[in-house]
Structures are given as structure tokens and as C-alpha cells.
């Protein structure tokens, strides 16, 4: 009897789940594949409600690394892509998966590390020199190791410094295969250096001993671009709503929303 009552209740819960799921799907929405850096910083929580108020279109953000976001978009599992690795974005468009690449905002990457700074790079404006010093002193460095935009930038900087950190993988160079926040958590716990985007850094709540050691190099510029997934390649893509979102990001209203996102009085992203 009780078994029957429980199963009846379970059934109610289950059927209500489907009803609720169905009701949610009725409102117009688009799916955006983006990076952990934009989500962890809190940017989307700040700007998306404004877009939804103006347009009536809800935006569902799936935040993964740039590599994974590109893969989702290639499979047609997102309508809009917002990532930060120019070469991959251009390849994505060239391969016919997206129509056009629109740069929407930028900020910069930072080299952060422990306050006691064993590699002695504090204030070094040349980020390549700073990385070289870390490699020479074999000071611990935490790498995203997840094929994200930040990871790809980090690898490009190592190449410029003439260092192959892969040889030291597992020694001073730690490849985590994790998002930006998880990498910062580990760097804070290990007293390791790491490369982070400014947005995640400013929104991050567990810095412990980590401080910014090198910033301002032009090679640390971090540009985010939006691309509509080509509806000719994937006919189910919500092209009109997706394009409307991109147009809004580039419009005065969207730019103002991006510019007004601050943490502790500091602006995190600059609109294009």
C-alpha cells in the first residue's frame, strides 16, 4: 500500500517534470556555446537579462572551454558561439560552420603567481621574459591543459619564449585539464604561477596568496568574438534570434551593458 502510494507520488513527480520541461521549452530561446572565462566572471548574469527584457529571447549559455565550444557548434548543438581564439574562429568560419566573425569585446590576460614570487618576475612587463624566468627557475606553473582559448594563448607564449613546457609536464609544469576557476584554485593551493583572463581573476573568490605579477604586454590582449552557426550547415539553427543577439551585442545597448559590468569598481570587459 505504502509502496503503491510512493510509486504514485513518484509518478506525479515524474509527469510534472515532463510538463515543466515542456513549458520551459515553449519560450523562445537560443543556445550559446561560450567559454568558462565569460561565465565564471559573471558577465552573462549581468548582460543577458537586459537582452531578454528587450527582445523576449532567453539565452541559454553552455560554458565550456573554447575547444569544446567549437566542437559543440560544429555539431550544431549551439546557435551562437562566443569564444576567444582568433585562429580557431577563422578556421571555423573558413570551414563553413559559421558565416562571419564579429569581435564583440576584449580584456587581457594576466600572469598571476604566489606573493613570494620564486621566479622573481614581479613587475616584468614583457610576458615572454617572465615565462622564460619561470622555466629557468623551474617554479611551479599550472596550465589549463584543456584546449581552451586561454590554454592556446599560453602555448603560443611558451613557443615565443622558446620553451617546450611539455618536456617538464608533471614536474614544474602541471597540465590540469580544468576550467579557469579550477586552475586558479589549484594554483592558489600549490603556490603556482598561471595565466588567467582578467574577467575570471576579478570575479574569483579564493585567491589566497596569488597576486598579479605581469600584465600590460600587447601579447596579452584577449579578444572575444561571436559567430552565428551557419543555418545552411545546420538547418535547425535559430538564425534570426541568434543574429539578433549578435547585433544586440554590437549595438549601443549591448555595448553599454558590457561596459557597465564591474566588480569592485573595476571594469571587466571593454566593448568593441
Decide if residue 63 touches another protein (CB under 8 A).
yes
Q: Cα–Cα–Cα angle for 212, 214, 166, nearest 5°? A: 100
CB of 71 to another protein, least distance (A): 10
- Return d(Cα 86, Cα 22) in angstroms, integer: 38
Q: How far is CA 100 from CA 25, 80, 95, 227, in A?
A: 28, 11, 11, 6
Q: Which residues of 200-211 are buried (b: 16+ CB within 10 A; e: fewer)?
A: bbbbbeeeeebe
| Bridging pattern class, strands 194-197 and 270-271 | unpaired
If one asks whether residue 46 binds another protein (CB under 8 A), the answer comes out as no
Give the Cα separation of 235 and 91 in Å (integer).
21
Contact 134, 232 (CB under 8 A): no
Contact between 82 and another protein per CB under 8 A:
no
Name the one range near another protein by CB under 8 A: 13-21, 106-114, 119-127, 218-226: 13-21
What is the C-alpha separation between 259 and 253, in angstroms, rounded?
A: 10
First vs last C-alpha separation in the chain: 65
Binding mask 137-156 for another protein (x = CB under 8 A): --------------------
Q: Which of 92, 97, 141, 204 binds another protein (CB under 8 A)?
A: 204
Segment interacting with another protein, rule: CB under 8 A, options 59-67, 88-96, 104-112, 241-249: 59-67
Query: By CB under 8 A, is residue 207 in contact with another protein?
Result: yes
CB of 222 to another protein, least distance (A): 18
- Please tell me whether residue 263 binds another protein under the rule CB under 8 A: no
Q: Which of 30, 43, 47, 61 binds another protein (CB under 8 A)?
A: 61
The single-letter DSSP state of residue 225 is: E
Shorter beta-carbon distance to another protein: residue 7 or 137? 7
Q: Does the footprint of another protein cover residue 185 (CB under 8 A)? A: yes
- Please give the residue ranges that form the binding site for another protein (CB under 8 A): 1-3, 6-7, 10-11, 13-14, 16-18, 20-21, 24-25, 31, 36, 39-40, 42, 45, 60-63, 74-77, 179-182, 184-185, 203-207, 234, 236
Amino acid at each position: 500500500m505504502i509502496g503503491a502510494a510512493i510509486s504514485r507520488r513518484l509518478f506525479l513527480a515524474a509527469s510534472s517534470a515532463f510538463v515543466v520541461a515542456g513549458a520551459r521549452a515553449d519560450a523562445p530561446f537560443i543556445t550559446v556555446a561560450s567559454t568558462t572565462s565569460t561565465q565564471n566572471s559573471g558577465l552573462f548574469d549581468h548582460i543577458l537579462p537586459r537582452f531578454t527584457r528587450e527582445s523576449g529571447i532567453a539565452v541559454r549559455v553552455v560554458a565550456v572551454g573554447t575547444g569544446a565550444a567549437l566542437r559543440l557548434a560544429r555539431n550544431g548543438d549551439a546557435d551562437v558561439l562566443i569564444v576567444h581564439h582568433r585562429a580557431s574562429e577563422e578556421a571555423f568560419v573558413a570551414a563553413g560552420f559559421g558565416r562571419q566573425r564579429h569581435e564583440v569585446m576584449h580584456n587581457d590576460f594576466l600572469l598571476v603567481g604566489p606573493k613570494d614570487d620564486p621566479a622573481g618576475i614581479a613587475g616584468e612587463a614583457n610576458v615572454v621574459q617572465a615565462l622564460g624566468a619561470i622555466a629557468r627557475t623551474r617554479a611551479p606553473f599550472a596550465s589549463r591543459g584543456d584546449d581552451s582559448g586561454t590554454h592556446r594563448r599560453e602555448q603560443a607564449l611558451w613557443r615565443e619564449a622558446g620553451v617546450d613546457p611539455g618536456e617538464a609536464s608533471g614536474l614544474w609544469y602541471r597540465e590540469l585539464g580544468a576550467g579557469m576557476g579550477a586552475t586558479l584554485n589549484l594554483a592558489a593551493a600549490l603556490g603556482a604561477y598561471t595565466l588567467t583572463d582578467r574577467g575570471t581573476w576579478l570575479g574569483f573568490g579564493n585567491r589566497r596568496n596569488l597576486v598579479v605579477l605581469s600584465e600590460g604586454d600587447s601579447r596579452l590582449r584577449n579578444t572575444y568574438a561571436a559567430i552565428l552557426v551557419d543555418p545552411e550547415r545546420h538547418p535547425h539553427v535559430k538564425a534570426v534570434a541568434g543574429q539578433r543577439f549578435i547585433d544586440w551585442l554590437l549595438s549601443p545597448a549591448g555595448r553599454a551593458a558590457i561596459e557597465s559590468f564591474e566588480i569592485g569598481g573595476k571594469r571587466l570587459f571593454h566593448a568593441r
